[in-house]
Structure formats: C-alpha cells, structure tokens
Structure 1
Amino acid sequence: MEKKGIEKITIGEITREAKIYRGTFYYYYQDIYDLLAKVQEQIFEEVIGIISRMIEGFMNGNLEEICIIMNQLFENHEEMMTLFIAKKPDVTLQRKIKECGKRVALDKLGIEENQLSIEQRYLLEYIASAQLGLIRYWIENKKDIPATQLAKVVQMANLKGPFTSIKQLARI
C-alpha cells in the first residue's frame, strides 16, 4: 500500500506475500477494501485505548506518562501509524481518532457533548485537529525530537496557546 496505493494492489499479490490460498483470503475478506477496513479497525481499537491514556496524562500534567504511552504506541504500530497518519493519510481513520479524542477529553472534563455551545464545538475540533497535526508533523519529520519534547510542545500549546508558546520559546 505504501509503494503503490490500495487501488493498485491485487488479491494475488496479497495471497503470495502472505503465503495463503486465494480462497482463504475470500473466506475472511470480501475484497481488498474489506481487508483494509478490518486492519484499520484492529489498529483503531488499540490506538484509541492508548490515546485515551495520553489525553488523561495531558490533562493531569503527567508528561513522563505521556512519553511512555507515546513510545508504546509507536513501538507497537509505527509502520501503520506512519502509513495511515503521514504517508498515505486515511481521512476516515483520522476522523475516528479525532472524534474519540474529543469524547475522551469531554468525559475527563465531565461535560456532555450536547451541552457544548457552537463556539466550544469549534474549539474542541481545533484542539483535536492540532493534536493529530502535531503527531503527523512529528512522524513526517522522522521523530526528529524525543517524545518528551513533543509532549512538552503539545502541553504548552494546549495550556498556553500556540502564539503565546511561540513567543515564549523565542525568548528562551
């Protein structure tokens, strides 16, 4: 998928690579897109649990825990995260991750989604998009800073705002 995209992959290529019979493939999957959806769903389930713990760590100000969790996420799913978040972004998967992140954050804040004003909904979307954007940028740059430093950047942006954080870092 990374080399040529999902639409150009054949079932024959998959079965040869996986060393399985074509019939075995069709026993479990309807087509290539069904396989992709099931792989994404499996990853999503694991990633969501990890993201929930990360959000809780951010809200509690526990950077060390966040870094451990972030490293765990990438140790377990680096290739897939890199593929679906940075190299061949999957909008559906990213939307699911953002929506889950928003639900977790609201739960931690004790706020029901139906109680949010329109402005609060926009702010929540901004925060979720920014978090995912920072992680994507980090992946695209081959994790050029340690997870501890990324966690500090995320926390700084969340608690102080991006413009204040940029100005503050410029003074250091």
Structure 2
Amino acid sequence: MKKAVFLDRDGVINEVLTDRVKFVNRPDQLYFLPDVAEAIHQLNKVFDHVFVVTNQGGVGLGFMKETQLQRIHDHMMDELKKERAVIEEVAYCPHKPKAGCKCRKPNSKLIEDLAGKYKVELSSSYMVGDTDTDIIAGKKAGTKTVFIGENDPLADAVFPDLLSAAEWIIEDSK
C-alpha cells in the first residue's frame, strides 16, 4: 500500500482572508503562502502521493462555476510544478456549506475516495489543514493530522506553516 499527504487548500497552500484576497474565485487571486512549493517538493520525495482536498462552497453559492474552479486548480498545479512540487490530484466539495452532502469536510469522503482510487494506506498517511473540519475529516478517515496555525487540541501536531509541518511529517513517517 502507498502513503499520501492530503492538504487543505485555502490557508495551507494559499492565502485566504488576507489584505490581498478574501476568497480565491479566479486564478489571479491565488497567492501562495511562503515556502509552500518547497514543502510540497520535500513531501514528494518521501510520499507516493500529495493530494489537495478542499471545500469550495463558492461554487454552490454561485460565486464561481466549476470550470472557473478547475482553472484555479490547474493554475495552482502548474505553478507548483515549476518549483518541482507535484499535486497528484485535487478533490473538492462544490456544495453549499449547509447542503448536507457527504463530501464536505468534516466528512472524510474526499480523502477516502482518493485513498481507494490510488490504493493509499490511510493509517500511514497525513491530513494537513487549518480548521477543525480538516482535522476531523482526517481523523474520521484514519490519517494522522497536522494543524497549520496556533493551536488545535484534536490534531496530532501543530505547526505555523506547511514547511515546518512537512519536516515533522517526513520525520514522523520513518
């Protein structure tokens, strides 16, 4: 079985709710957080897969169409590839926040579906996020969890940014 790292997008890979951008609704609104490409590149060396799993309720709420979201994700993946950082696939929930769907985090369907598709052993894998919903989804799926931010009592580890989280994940996975 393979091992993977599942990354939330907004707040882990790119800015959200900052002075520059509130929400990412177009490719030109995607601003990478510092050292994200380096962190993903380091994870690529150790893990079979790096995925993004993200709630994108802006689609369901009508702020963007799925084709726009796909352009954002294509842009993100292309820009990261230029830095030798590879995201294998992006799985997203396009539904409204309170739609009651099974794919929206804190549910674990996005993680579990990718794990099934790529034959990933979830107990050897990690979910990295910046909200409780990310951590709960990872726990439900059976991954170890890493919180990006100041504090989360549910997470297995807490770091201020993806690069420091990646260093810990790589060491912990040995």
Is the TM-score greater than 0.5?
A: no
- Tell me which structure has the larger Cα radius of gyration: 1
More strand by share: 2
TM-score, normalisation: structure 1: 0.29
* Greater RCO (Cα-Cα under 8 Å, separation 6 or more): 2
Give me the TM-score of the superposition, normalised by structure 2.
Answer: 0.29
In terms of fraction of residues, the more helix-rich structure is 1
